[in-house]
Amino acid sequence: KGRSKHYSNVFGAEINATLEHSYGTFGLGLESRFERINSTSIGDHNRENYGGYLEFKTEA
């Protein structure tokens, strides 16, 4: 049986922003990631991840 070879690539990006007001600070962001694996034993596989967040902060 031959040797198994694996190659993988990952690409990710994120963007975020804040907006300040007298009553607090709003924050929001989005992120994305793409993963790819190429293997001689398990084949080709891809995975995509997406996420986002929204936050509000006040001074205590």
Q: According to CATH, what is the number of the domain 6-57?
A: 2.20.130
Tens-place pLDDT, residues 4-24: 899 999 999 999 999 999 999
% residues pLDDT > 90 (the chain): 80
- pLDDT score at 49: 98
Closest-CA residue to 35 (of 43, 44, 45, 47) = 47
CA separation for the pair 11, 34 (Å, rounded): 5
Average pLDDT over the chain, rounded to an integer:
94
Tens-place pLDDT, residues 21-40: 999 999 999 999 999 999 98
